[in-house]
Chains A and B, each alone.
Chain A
Amino acid sequence: MSETTVTPTQVELEVGYAGKSIPRKEDQRLVKGEGVFADDLKRHGMGYVHFVRSPYAHARIVSVDVSQAEALEGVYGTLTPDEVAELTDPFFELTTPPGSQIKDYALAVGRVRHIGEPVVAVVAATRELARDAADLVEVEYDPLDVIVDARRAQDDDAPIIHEDAGTNVVWSGIFDWGDIDGALKAADRVVKIEELHFDRFASTPLECSVALVEYERATGQFTLYCNHQMPGVAAIWMGPALRVPLDKLRFVTHDIGGGFGNKITTHTYLTACCLLARKLKRPIQWTEWRTDQHMANAHGNERWFHDIEVAVQNDGTMLGFKVKAIDDCGAFPRYEPLGCIIWAQVTPGLYRWRNIRVDFTQVVTNKSPVAPNRGYSRMQQLWLTERICDIVAHELGLDPVEVRKKNYVRADEMPYETPNGCVYDSGDYARCLDIALELIDYEGVRARQEAGSGKLIGIGIGSTLDSGTNNFGQSTLLNPELQFSGNNEVATIKLDIFGEIVLTLGTVPQGQGHETVAAQVAADILGVSPDQIHVRPGHDSYWNSHAGFSGTYASQFAVTGLEAVKGATEKLSLEIRRLAGAVLGGADPDDIVLEGGFAKRKDNPETALPFMACGAIVNANNAVLPPDVRDVTLNCRYVYVPPFELPDKERKFGNLTLTYATQIHACVVEIDPETGDVELVDYAAVDDCGIRIHPQIVEGQVHGATVHAIGAALYETFAYDEYGQLLTSNFYDYHVPHALDLPEIKTGHIESPSPFSSLGTKGMGEGGGAAIHAICAAIQDALRRAGKPAIVNDSHNPPERVWRMIQNPEETATLVEVTAQ
């Protein structure tokens, strides 16, 4: 089942590119080092920014003195908190009062609330000088008590991080679907789990955040060459804060060195750069360093689950569960509290559970703000559902494989409506699981476990869903005042004067190969090869090929992006065929076929109009045009709008997302019983994302998402000490997987076409953190097989934690209680 498509180097000219792994258009420039990343740009007279950052997790700013810094030769100027407070308004908050009273600015105003928070910006002629000057800025702080543990944020004696809000709670609400109280009464047993913790980590794209900002005084126009991955949303934050209309903020991206959601909330820095460009009358260049990125940009959401109660029948069938969740969003909400609802896209995981109550609270702490991170908010929920499966199975003495199969939504139930109104479009979870188990030789490993060896062997399964194409109406379930709903994406395609086909996307790719995949879809419609379609790299809001939700996030390109490409290209195809029909003797557009760069009459293929002629006529020779095709522009913009409705705010009910790709992963671990060191010895990832346009790219996304989750499970953690000091601020201590850390990752797939997208595709790429769930399950399996009754209660399991579970399994075993009734 493990498959890799070897790409032919020569592509034959033929119709039917979709579904084939053709060489990526992006690769030519990237393998030669000719990619254009934001830090590669330079401008005459530009100044380099260095941010002076807080050494404290929580402190009052007593005074700021930039005089020495400004006096240094080569320094162009500074930006202080007082200036920011005067020149900008706080960024708008998505949540309800009192959380919405939180004031978030480009620099720390009045207080610092996490380590590394930018306090002053200094601009100088060189990077080094800017840093020299930053060292001369004097900031006096009065340290305040800190909160690093989200569980303490609501205590009476907890320091209040945002006095304007008067509480550390950002958002709080209860989601109640079905009848969990009835289910808990009716069930044979109730399994109670006291506490589980989903740890804090981030995908840490290798390219940090960057911007080069120019300001044109004549027009008040800002141009931001940057690597923001969702510029439309950045503009919505920044325009009002800077008190400028949105069109005055032109965003340009080109190649982006990975995003994974971590480049959605850089608007604070971009705003500071805008203010500096305007104040200092010169282009401003900002490059974030890795340590800064770790301390003060975008962590993933950390979440605590308390008082879980699962209603279970003796045969392992589960009726549902209830839980109290506390989400830790760090010092500022920014994209939050959207994480308080996004999880609900996968409320019951892959399971047929009808009764679920979630009491959800999000709080601020003195840690780095969070941002959407690959698998955003769903992977926390999916980790919970997977932990529930394994803990219930082990406590009841059942096989986790059988428990999953018994509870999975079945293929014949698709499309399946979850208790909260989401619609799982298609899939066959049990079949995917069988494939995954076969790939790791499940029976063989079970036999090895029985035989025993020096190492503790464990098998784990992670079953997840990658929900793609958000219905932004879900935000109204958090805040009924918000005016967001649905989704959209744009593509524009034109046939130019010399016959070039130019495709412009609204998406903001960061390595997903959009240029290639979009060209495949357009090529099939236009009857040309993908080589003949120029897809503009990156994004430029001046192209006017974007809409409010444009961007690359939330596993949606294969649906929103490609539907837009398809829509625009079909429009262009129709225009070409109308034009050719009119020129070639008045044929009906349906009687014209596009092939090999010609529009041909079906009844007489020798009668054909080359695309070049089409482009030339419309653009430069239009006096010859027949009157009924004078509306043809050969420049077609299409906005794709998925079929969503507003959710029911009262019941918190509705379809929150359009497609659900499936990931079923299985792994084998070997644990050194003396040290707790976990070695991943076998790994299989089975994916079902419907129809695959470019199988190799899909497989690449599976590899990437898997390794992010492996890193989170074993190595990566943003750990803080009690004073709010980040202990893993660089790649020495924040260990991301290197080549030697990983086994070969086997892949398999099935294709269950989505009934909700015209290409049968589903968004994919985020995955659901399946490796975290699989590795936790495998560790628990190994412990149980060794007679240790421990449960894995944390998503992050470094050697010492595993060693402690081996030494003292009771410590976590006592978190679980099973009552029979």
Chain B
Amino acid sequence: MSEHTIGVAVNGDRYEREVEARKLLVHFIRDDLDLTGTHVGCDTGNCGACTVLLDGRAVKSCMLLAVQADGAEITTVEGLSPEGELSPLQQAFSEHHALQCGYCTPGMLVSATYLLSQNPSPSEEEIRRGIQGNICRCTGYVNIVKAIRAAAGQ
């Protein structure tokens, strides 16, 4: 068994852990760090429920080995808003009913956060392109697009 010691900063907290080389980053986040907001919705990297920011860029954490994240800064859904408050996007998701079951929501919010960090006033097409990697089975994306527009001040 190949074990590695890795150090990561997740939502500003530093962790040092032993991981098996074969462990996926998403399982490390969920099982080892108990940050269960990041979800698994498929086993082929299509659904985006496991999306996190890795050094500021949106990635699917089921397509990386945990050991690859050694030294990285990671933001998960739990890190999107300060304690007790909602970010403008989180607030807009609730106001516009952009979530039903809420299972895709963490990944969707991370992707939307990333999108607005790159493009603060996206067009509808750019919003759809920005969340193309996140599958939602409940909302048909209608209200998600609306919420992202609203959070972008449109």
Q: Which residues from chain A sit less than 8 Å from chain B, CB to CB?
A: 4, 6-7, 9, 21, 23-24, 26-35, 37, 39-40, 42, 127-128, 203-208, 255-258, 260, 287, 289-291, 510-513, 696-697, 699-701, 703-704, 706-708, 710, 730-732, 736-740, 742, 744-745
Closest to B49 in A: A206
Q: Which of B100, B103, B129 is in CB contact (< 8 Å) with A37?
A: B103
List 19 additional contacts besides A31-B99, A739-B141, A742-B128; criterion CB under 8 Å.
A4-B143, A27-B102, A28-B86, A31-B86, A39-B40, A127-B27, A205-B103, A207-B103, A208-B41, A257-B102, A291-B43, A511-B103, A696-B97, A703-B140, A703-B142, A736-B135, A738-B132, A739-B128, A739-B144
Determine if B4 is an interface residue (Cβ-Cβ < 8 Å): no
Q: Which of A31, A33, A511, A738 is in CB contact (< 8 Å) with B94?
A: A31
> Quick check: B103 and A206 within 8 Å, CB to CB?
yes
> Quick check: A27 and B99 within 8 Å, CB to CB?
yes
Determine if B145 is an interface residue (Cβ-Cβ < 8 Å): yes
> Quick check: B102 and A744 within 8 Å, CB to CB?
no
Q: Which residues on B sit within 8 Å (CB–CB) of A731? A: 42, 44, 46-47, 135
Bound CA–CA A257/B140 (angstroms): 15
The CB with the most chain A CB atoms within 10 A, among B23, B133, B141, is that of B141
Q: Which of A6, A287, A701, A742 is in CB contact (< 8 Å) with B95?
A: A6
User: What are 18 A-B contacts defined by CB distance under 8 Å?
Assistant: A6-B96, A23-B95, A27-B99, A33-B105, A35-B103, A127-B27, A128-B22, A204-B137, A205-B101, A206-B41, A206-B103, A207-B41, A208-B41, A257-B101, A703-B140, A730-B42, A736-B135, A739-B145
State the Cβ distance, A741 to closest chain B Cβ, in Å.
9
Bound CA–CA A4/B93 (angstroms): 14
> Quick check: A37 and B39 within 8 Å, CB to CB?
yes
Contact with A along B25-49 (1 / 0, CB 8 A): 0010011000111111111101101
Determine if B139 is an interface residue (Cβ-Cβ < 8 Å): yes
> Quick check: A128 and B81 within 8 Å, CB to CB?
no
Contact flag A290-B43 (CB < 8 Å), given A24-B97, A40-B36, A207-B101: yes
Q: Which residues on B sit within 8 Å (CB–CB) of A258? A: 100-101, 103, 137-138
> Quick check: B27 and A700 within 8 Å, CB to CB?
no
Q: With contacts defined as CB atoms under 8 Å apart, how many contacts are there between chain A and chain B in the complex?
A: 185
For window 53-100 of B, CB contacts with A under 8 Å fall at 76-78, 80-81, 86, 90-91, 93-97, 99-100
> Quick check: B140 and A707 within 8 Å, CB to CB?
yes
Query: Main SS of the interface on chain B?
Result: loop
Determine if B10 is an interface residue (Cβ-Cβ < 8 Å): no
State the Cβ distance, B45 to closest chain A Cβ, in Å.
9
Contact flag A33-B135 (CB < 8 Å), given A696-B97, A731-B42, A731-B46: no
> Quick check: B131 and A739 within 8 Å, CB to CB?
yes
State the Cβ distance, B17 to closest chain A Cβ, in Å.
14
Q: Which residues on B sit within 8 Å (CB–CB) of A742? A: 128, 140-141
Q: Which residues on A sit within 8 Å (CB–CB) of B22? A: 128
Bound CA–CA A641/B54 (angstroms): 53
> Quick check: B43 and A255 within 8 Å, CB to CB?
no
Q: Which residues on B sit within 8 Å (CB–CB) of A26? A: 102
The CB with the most chain B CB atoms within 10 A, among A206, A208, A708, is that of A206
Closest to A706 in B: B140
State the Cβ distance, A507 to closest chain B Cβ, in Å.
14
Contact flag A744-B142 (CB < 8 Å), given A205-B137, A510-B101, A731-B135: yes
State the Cβ distance, A65 to closest chain B Cβ, in Å.
25
The CB with the most chain A CB atoms within 10 A, among B20, B42, B124, is that of B42
